[in-house]
A = this chain, B = another copy of it.
Amino acid sequence: MAAAARSGLVVTAHPGDFVWRAGGAIALHARKGYRMKIVCLSFGERGESQWAWKKAGVRLEDVKAQRRVEAEEAAGILGAEIEFLDVGDYPLRVGEAVLDRLVDVYREERPAFVLTHALEDPYNFDHPVAAHVAQEGRVIAQAAGHKPDPDRSYAAPPVFLFEPHQPEQCNFKPQVILNIDAVWETKFRAFQVLAAQKHLWEYYTRVALNRGVQGGRNSGTAMTYGEAYQRLFPMTLEELA
């Protein structure tokens, strides 16, 4: 029962991000009984929906509705609940109300870990904004004077940064390779929801295979599919091996 109560939080800028970059972790922990929650700051409606805009006369609301359906379907496949904060994208800007909602989510979920974007991304300026608010919300949730409630308990969870599209250009350094063999098929089904981005199915399959090879090489125990993460904070351990 204790395990059933644990949760994990994912904070992303756009819907595709949680599928390509963290879909394995989401599905894996969902299967282990974690309550997985995705906070998706935008629908990726302006900058990550090229195909949708090719249709003459399409309106922003249509694109957002389409992406919402798609994102909810992908989240469902992965076993996660999704909440959209609808802040807009390209550029993505975060005001106080959104930060406030995110703080509430941290306190409601008391997640055992948080997944978010790399700290830098010269290809996409929405990503570091999402990573920043994910971190800032995590810290503000600790502030006793923010919506004070002496009965509340909350401990800031560890933060894992998922892999950006061009990792070296983002100064992303893998410190954890998560074995996602058990849920690869689920992750790939979530890929297929993003039908317009078929070229990325293959790209991220190759990423998962190569991270899997690296995971095996680093641990001495073979795995096929991996997801790379960078940890933001030191971990405490009771044993080194």
Interface residues of A, Cβ cutoff 8 Å to B: 6, 8, 25, 28-29, 32, 34, 45-47, 49-50, 52-54, 56, 58, 60, 63, 89-91, 99, 112-113, 115, 122-125, 132, 135-136, 139-140, 142-146, 148, 150, 155-158, 160, 165-169, 172-179, 199, 202-203, 206-207, 209-210, 213-221, 223, 226, 228-229, 231-241
Residues of B near A167 (CB, < 8 A) are: 168
Q: Which residue from chain B places its CB closest to the CB of A44 in the assembled complex?
A: B145
Contact A155 B220, beta carbon cutoff 8 Å: yes
For the complex, give the distance between the alpha carbons of A53 and B237 in Å. Answer: 32
One complex includes copies of this chain to the number of 6
Contact of A125 among B136, B199, B240 (CB under 8 A): B136
Known: A8-B241, A178-B240, A214-B166. A54 touches B207 (CB 8 A): no
A54 contacts across to B, CB distance below 8 A: 144, 150
B-chain residues with CB within 8 Å of residue A155 when the two chains form the complex: 220
- With both chains docked as a complex, state the minimum distance between the C-beta of A86 and any C-beta of chain B, in angstroms: 14
A29, A145, A202 pick with most chain B CB within 10 angstroms: A145
Nearest chain-B residue to A231 (Cβ)?
Answer: B175
Query: How far does the Cβ of A22 sit from chain B's closest Cβ, in whole Å?
Result: 10
Alpha-carbon gap, A122 to B138, bound state (A)? 10
Decide if A124 touches B139 in the complex (CB within 8 Å).
yes
Contact of A56 (CB < 8 Å), options: B25, B150, B165, B172: B150
- With contacts A143-B90, A145-B46 taken as known, whether A240 is within 8 angstroms of B29 at the C-beta atoms is yes
Least Cβ–Cβ distance between A123 and chain B, in angstroms: 7
Q: Which of B113, B199, B223, B241 contacts A158 (CB 8 A)?
A: B241
- Contact of B145 with A49 in the complex, beta carbons under 8 Å: yes
Q: Which of B45, B140, B174, B206 contacts A234 (CB 8 A)?
A: B174
Q: How many Å lie between the Cα of A150 and that of B53 in the bound state?
A: 7
Collect the chain B residues with CB atoms within 8 Å of residue A178's CB.
236-238, 240
Write 6 A-B pairs (CB below 8 A) sorted by A numbering. A8-B240, A32-B239, A54-B144, A175-B234, A176-B235, A178-B240
Instruction: Select from chain B the residue with minimum beta-carbon distance to A99.
Output: B91
Interface centre among A25, A160, A174, A234 (most CB of B within 10 A): A234
